Chains A and B, each alone.
Chain A
Amino acid sequence: MLAVPIQALFGQLLIGLINGSFYALLSLGLAIIFGLLNVVNFAHGALYMLGAFVAWFLAEKAGVGYWGALILAPLAVGLFGAVIERLLLRRLAGLDPLYGLLLTFGIALILQGLFSNWFGSSGMPYEMPSALQGGRALPFMFLPNYRLWVIAVSLVVCLGTWAITERTRLGSWLRAATENAALVSAFGINVPRMITITYGLGVALAALAGVLAAPIYRVSPLMGADLIIVVFAVVVIGGMGSILGSIITGFSLGILEGLTKVFYPEASNTVIFVVMAIVLLVRPAGLFGKQA
């Protein structure tokens, strides 16, 4: 299996990039939430699943297609997230992050349990929008248009989010509140509301990834549980709370995983954790995290 033709290698790199897009989108939301709320949001996978299901509901019950779902599902799930933050997470502010972790883990189990109960574990089919069907024949592989679209959306959203946090006034408030919330609120900024909005935004990113995933994977109650552990590894490797770190790590680990699938497929679902273990040994704060 070592004599892999160079063409196949290009194909695998590209596929790795596509998977990396999902990792990046999801870990980005996690990083933002951890950065500001200091909450390890274990419900992220379940909310990603919720995004896909909202898209399915919209198509099935309201006749709203993919393009509408791309806007509406993140909005709806984002609102749901804001409600969770207001009603539940807020009560845990200032406590050990472990409580937030337990709470969000519980929310994830409840959501997954409910949806498994209603829909079973095989999931639902979701049609790909006709404009994105088909694909183009590259010299080294057949690239479905939809996957290209996923890379594009993910890149735009990731870079956009990064730009907002780094280059705008809102972003600077955000970063300041992360450092010292009391001081920022003394300047007349409504920190609690900002926290709610941030959590909603992070969750909306997960839902967006869910809608993007719906046509290519199954819309299934377990889709988030399968992914969330990997995404957490990505965040840990990138450095908890580092936005740029999570984006870069997401894409590069997708590629690394893709390469593993060529050279040693049996290890493809463990390679990311091996990297995580090594990174934790060498740089405990993660590749892009601030060393304590």
Chain B
Amino acid sequence: MLRSALAVLAALAASPAAHADFTGKTIKIGVLNDQSGLYADLAGPGSVLAAKMAVEEMGGKIGDTPIEVVFADHQNKPDIGSNIVRQWIDVDGVDVIVDVPTSSVALAVSAVVKEKNKVFLASGPGSSDLTGKACSPNTVHWTYDTYALAHTTGQAEVAAGGKSWFFLTADYAFGQALERDTTAVVKAAGGEVLGGVKHPLNTTDFSSFLLQAQSSKAQVIGLANAGGDTINSIKAASEFGIVKGGQKLAGLLVFVTDIHALGLQTAQGLLLSESFYWDRDAKTRAWSKKWSEKMGGKKPSMVQAGVYASVLHYLKALKALKSDADGKAVVDEMKKLHTDDTLFGKGVIRADGRKIHPMYLYEVKKPADSKGEWDLYKLVKEIPGDQAFRPEKEGNCSLIAGSTPAPAAAPAAPAAAPAAKPDAGSAK
């Protein structure tokens, strides 16, 4: 059953582009994510709306060239995702691919976008390999990554005395990267990893895995999973008395939508890190309110905020460049311009494609302290971007290793593409 729902959203009055060199008469933004599955709430239609809000803010066009937003559902499958992207770029004239949660899909998409020399703005995926061994001159990784999660939530748990760990890991690129990056943090602090379980993506019942975690006697159970999987793990852990028994849960990637679904009663006290929380300051509240009005009162996740900010920055680069023909040149322009938006503040995009901004360590509120349905977090501390994200030199990104300087249009180092393939399973 082939289901690639493709809908044109912001089709604006098409006036022919006279001066600027934009391919295909419109600037086409393709939001590719999970529209109906376990990641649909943290990305999904909310990301499409966020992209539209960025387009609106730019006035709906650049010069005379209208901007259009289209979207599709990749169903968390790398083959479906890369097929849609090929179709978008080859047939539909899409210029930039946005969001793409699920790291396995994102790695596949990154390879396709590089091959076609378009632009990939990654907000949803976590794998730090996107700016590491699988980095690409056409990819910007915006919102967060597994290294940052490990060095914020993971680090905080280690600092609080959690020396022995057991991992519940979603069995795909993202989970594996998160486990790897967190293990490095734990070991660097002199801790040890006692074991772990790799569970299939989208598992309903975690009790069996938690029982294994329990008998490992580890101090901390690290949840290297996301979305519905994290919700189900935390629920079952509370039911099976894991936390009462003295073991701590570390939700390494927890979104605001997950906490909302869990309820504060179950989630209270959990430490987590995000690069965006709707209630952080007046600006984030104002933007979230606007978003919320069109989403039935929900609040945006950091992924959706990242979609808005990355699209906005992309459009600023196009405005400066007056062309979207050469994807790599657009990304180079994005790296040259400093980023500045209401949600993430001022920041930079490094040569390896990593966007740098602060990460925030939050604690989930007790039910008594919460003033509303979405009043969920208490700020613990802000971690500056240069401490949260991986130093450029440690990522093994081919764009950094002296031999291939970033601006060169010459063949990108061979390491990138093959490295992406085992996870990506792309057709080539």
Contacts and interface: CB of A to CB of B under 8 A. Distances in A.
Contact of A216 (B197, B227, B235): B235
Nearest to B256: A122
A127 B36 CA distance: 25
B123 interface: no
B209 A265 contact: yes
Interface residues of A, number: 41
A128 B240 CA distance: 13
**Interface range on chain B: under 10, 10 to 19, 20 to 34, or 35 or more?**
35 or more
Residue picked from B235, B239, B241, most chain A C-beta under 10 Å: B239
A120 B257 contact: yes
Given A121-B41, A122-B260, A122-B261, A226 B202 contact: yes
A269 interface: yes
Contact of B298 (A120, A217, A265, A269): A120
Contacts of A218: 228, 231-232, 235, 261
Residue picked from B199, B204, B257, most chain A C-beta under 10 Å: B204
A144 interface: yes
A124 B203 CA distance: 17
A165 interface: no
B208 A12 contact: yes
A43 B250 CA distance: 37
Interface string B77-115: 000000000000000000000000000000000000000
A217 B204 contact: yes
Interface in A249-280: 258, 261-262, 265-266, 268-270
Contacts of B179: none
B385 interface: no
A222 interface: yes
B190 interface: no
Interface in B283-324: 298
A220 B260 CA distance: 13
B207 interface: yes
Interface string B224-236: 0001100110011
Interface string B202-215: 11110111011011
Contacts of A261: 197, 208-209, 212
Interface in A216-248: 216-218, 220, 222-223, 226-227
A188 interface: no
B176 to A, nearest CB: 12
Residue picked from A113, A121, A222, A227, most chain B C-beta under 10 Å: A121
A135 B207 CA distance: 14
A8 B211 contact: yes
A12 B198 contact: no
Contacts of B212: 8, 261-262
B425 interface: no
A125 B262 contact: yes
Given A11-B211, A226-B204, A135 B44 contact: no
Nearest to B259: A122
Contacts of A116: 36, 40
B247 to A, nearest CB: 11
Contacts of B227: 122
A266 B209 CA distance: 11
A5 to B, nearest CB: 7
B208 A258 contact: yes
A186 B275 CA distance: 72
A125 B266 contact: yes
Interface string A52-88: 0000000000000000000000000000000000000
A266 B263 contact: no
Interface in B32-72: 36-42, 44
A127 B198 CA distance: 29
B171 interface: yes
Contacts of A146: 239
A123 B261 contact: yes
A124 B134 CA distance: 37
A5 B217 CA distance: 14
B261 A144 contact: no
B258 interface: yes
A144 to B, nearest CB: 5
A269 B240 CA distance: 22
A158 interface: no
A33 B371 CA distance: 48
B265 A142 contact: no
A226 B258 CA distance: 18
Contacts of A123: 228, 231, 261
B205 A19 contact: yes
Given A146-B239, A216-B235, A223-B204, A141 B40 contact: no
B227 to A, nearest CB: 7
B200 interface: yes
A39 interface: no
B367 to A, nearest CB: 11
B161 interface: no
Nearest to B262: A125
Nearest to B257: A122
15 contacts: A8-B215, A18-B207, A120-B257, A121-B39, A135-B239, A135-B241, A142-B241, A217-B232, A222-B36, A226-B204, A261-B212, A266-B171, A266-B198, A268-B208, A269-B203
Identify the 4 closest CB pairs spanning chains A and B, nearest first: A125-B263, A122-B261, A261-B208, A121-B40
Given A11-B211, A19-B205, A220-B261, 7 more contacts: A5-B215, A121-B40, A141-B211, A218-B232, A223-B204, A227-B204, A269-B200
